[in-house]
Amino acid sequence: MWLHYIPLQNRTVAPEMDNSVPLEEQLMHIEPNDLWLFAKIADIGSFSKASVSIGLPKSTLSRRISQLEKQLGERVFQRTTRQLNLTEFGLKLLRHGRQIGEDIDAAVALAQHRQLQPSGILRVSMPNDFANLVLLPLLAEFISGHPAISLEIDLSARRVDLLSEQYDLVIRMGDLPDDTSLAAKPVFQNAWGLYASNEYLDSYGVPEQPDDLCRHGMLQLLARQRELQPLQLTRGDSSWAAIVPAKVTANSPELLVKLALRHLGIVASPTVYANAYVKTGQLTRVLPEWQFPTVTAWAVFPGRGLMPGKTRALLDFLAIGLSKLK
């Protein structure tokens, strides 16, 4: 046994010690880490061995304990060259230091458990069409595989304020504004193409070059500024850009694709939305050799502090799942 009880008559009491002040009140002004270090040293029974166990120099431990004794106004250890003994006061203090250690261990265990099995409410926001047409099967799989997480999903068209509205993660398309309080990770490269039904092309002809689009009914995505954006196409070293009159503009790619299915025009759409209808023969790719610029889908999240396990779980899951899509 390393520790020995020091009788009352052998303890050293600093002149400023006020025995009328309860110990709990004295502890209010003490650094909790110092109490934890004191308890570790007491339980190990040696400054040298505690230094190895804790990973701090012996001189640092000695200084911290001396500082603790000065703040408390009383010694906690009686030290000799051969023994390290607890004073009566140190013996009384020991349970407080041990309690802090138990609280730290519990907090670490909780954090590790949440990382291994993420839990809690996860608030996310994403574009409606992207959620329904692309993410739906991934979200269903994620929900099934993470029963301890409750998803709260916002599909509104507005751009939510991630921090003030306390969202954990949002999906945004295209260029992002500079914001040092946020971080972002690309999760999907959204390729685009031009599509029309065979009935429409039979009635109005098949465009052979980009300029032919100006003579067709175009179904185009409405920009946030509510202005018609130019179509930009490239083929090898050739490029073409023009503002093409639109027959319909909307802020929903899914709606525009469905209008194309009703033979109402040529739609500019993400390929991931139109591919299913191309496979069934309901839509045909128009000017397939000409390419739109890809649009990046970003996962955006708070840029400061540690990422919660629930957020990391969804981010990693979406990144892996979306990487398999063509």
Any idea what the Cα angle at residue 316 is, between residues 311 and 320, rounded to 5°? 150
Helices (H), 6-87: 23-27, 32-44, 47-54, 58-72
Q: Are residues 241 and 232 in contact, defined by beta-carbon separation less than 8 angstroms?
A: yes
- The confidence score (pLDDT) of residue 114 equals 58
Q: Could you tell me which CATH class the domain 192-293 is placed in?
A: alpha beta
Q: How far is 65 from 75, CA to CA, in rounded Å?
A: 9
Fold of 120-183+299-323: D-Maltodextrin-Binding Protein; domain 2 (3.40.190)
From first to last of its 326 residues, what are the pLDDT tens digits of the chain?
344 333 333 333 333 444 555 555 555 567 788 888 888 898 888 898 888 888 889 899 999 999 888 888 889 998 887 888 899 898 888 888 888 877 777 676 666 655 667 889 999 999 999 999 999 999 999 999 999 999 999 998 788 899 889 999 999 998 888 787 889 999 999 999 999 999 999 999 999 999 999 999 899 988 766 677 789 999 999 999 999 989 999 988 999 999 999 999 999 999 999 999 999 999 999 999 999 999 999 999 998 767 888 999 999 999 999 988 86
Closest to 212 (Cα-Cα) out of 181, 233, 226: 233
Tokens of 35: 């109490």
Q: What is the pTM of this model?
A: 0.63
CATH class of 8-116: mainly alpha
Conformational region of residue 305, where left means phi above 0, alpha means psi within -120 to 50, and beta covers everything else: left
Do the domains 192-293 and 8-116 match in fold? no
For the chain, the domains span 8-116, 120-183+299-323, 192-293
